[in-house]
Chains A and B, each alone.
Chain A
Amino acid sequence: MTAPTPAGTPPPDPRAGRFDQVVRGLQVSVLVVAVAAVLGDVLHGPAGRAAGWVLLATLVAVPVLRVLWFVVRWFRRGDPKFAFVGLGVLAVMVAGVVLSR
């Protein structure tokens, strides 16, 4: 990119915004949650509960996996400061769950 930089800001980076894998993962997750929610409402008994747990597991796992994806990406691309910030957030989440028990 050859555009001049606005005063006081770093230069724009052409690699910005290329998160195709995450976008696809999120789209698939929405489908999984939607199907699980429908089955959780329609089915009764153990099958309905199983669908409910799939829904719950997806809602919990996807944000965590999204952060992990960025942590790995940032470590690989030489941006360790923010990778450690991501790891810190995950560590606080785990600590919160442990302390609340």
Chain B
Amino acid sequence: MSLPVLALLGLLAALAGSLGGIGGATLLVPALLVAGMEPTVAAPIGLMVVGAGSLASGARQLNEGLVHHRIGLTVELAASVGVVGGALASTQVPEQLLAFVLAGAALVGAVAAFARKGMRNLPQAAFGEEAVTGEWPGTLGGQYRLGDQVVPYQARRVPLGMVLCLGAGVVAGLSGVGGGFLKTPAMSEVMHVPAKVAAATTTFTLGLTAATGLLVYAGQGRLELREGAAAVLGALAGGLLGARLQSSISPVTARRLTGALLLVVAAVVATRAVLA
């Protein structure tokens, strides 16, 4: 595959991934496979794009108080245990069964994103212009700016959210994708974290997932750095653009966009499984 095409695919994957908080590997890796790339080469490139997209979105999302590190690390603690367990068990699970599980999970996430109407966390007039956005120390709560208003929120049903993220981690470890397409709906629909905060927080945690995966792949000698560099160049542009666009869209639009991306993921993964 030519380097400009790789860069373009990296841009589109990171743009969609950072907008919807689903990472991007879930979209990129199938596209690379369809284009004829070997799975052993495509998966590490997918993770490089996820890492670059997370890095590129990070500064802007952090500046705008959209990333909640305490929530991110709390769910990542469960998810990373699942990733390790899933990766170790990955040789025991039939690939087709796994693909159907992935597609089903993405579909459930999409339905949940589309089913809810309006906003769960509403702006509070009591929070004036002087309010500082971000996370509140010692808690899983915080506030983010929506236009000229401030929206407070508090993560709920944290144990259930952690269990779901553990499951997302297992699926991610089994399949080699980041798992953001499961973590973002778990955070927003189960834990009641605002969609934009959930997307930005997942994007942060996906950087950790990518780092772990890249270390593993580097140890196995599976990295094609030249192709990866081309995809990363595109992903940097896509991540920067995605973070810029994310700050200008409404939470409802962000949630619908995530739902639409999840539908695409479900369709792509299910189609691949049926054709296989």
Contact = CB atoms under 8 A, between A and B. Distances in A.
Contact of A51 (B153, B212, B229): B229
Interface residues of B, number: 65
Interface in A4-45: 4, 6, 8-19, 22-23, 26-27, 29-30, 33-34, 36-38, 40-41
B225 A12 contact: no
Contact of A82 (B3, B51, B70, B84): B70
Contacts of A11: 136
A12 B51 contact: no
Contact of A88 (B77, B133, B143, B230): B77
Contacts of A37: 229-230, 232-233, 236
A6 B152 contact: yes
B274 interface: no
B31 to A, nearest CB: 19
A27 B59 contact: yes
A3 B84 contact: no
B80 A96 contact: yes
A4 to B, nearest CB: 5
A70 B218 CA distance: 27
B128 A3 contact: yes
Interface in B63-90: 63, 65, 69-70, 73-74, 76-77, 80-81, 83-84, 87-88
Q: Is the interface of A mostly helix, strand, loop or mixed?
A: helix
B182 to A, nearest CB: 18
A89 B76 contact: yes
Contacts of B149: none
Tell me which of B55, B143, B204, B208 has the highest count of chain A C-beta atoms within 10 A of its own C-beta: B55
Given A9-B154, A63-B207, A33 B225 contact: no
A16 B226 contact: no
B225 A52 contact: yes
Contacts of B88: 99-100
A26 B57 CA distance: 9
Given A3-B126, A33-B52, A41 B136 contact: no
A34 B233 CA distance: 6
Contacts of B249: none
B223 interface: yes
Interface in B31-58: 48, 51-52, 54-56, 58
5 contacts: A3-B124, A29-B55, A62-B207, A67-B208, A89-B73
Interface of B: 3, 48, 51-52, 54-56, 58-59, 62-63, 65, 69-70, 73-74, 76-77, 80-81, 83-84, 87-88, 124, 126-128, 130-139, 141-143, 152-154, 204, 207-208, 210-212, 214-216, 218-219, 223, 225-226, 228-230, 232-233, 236, 240
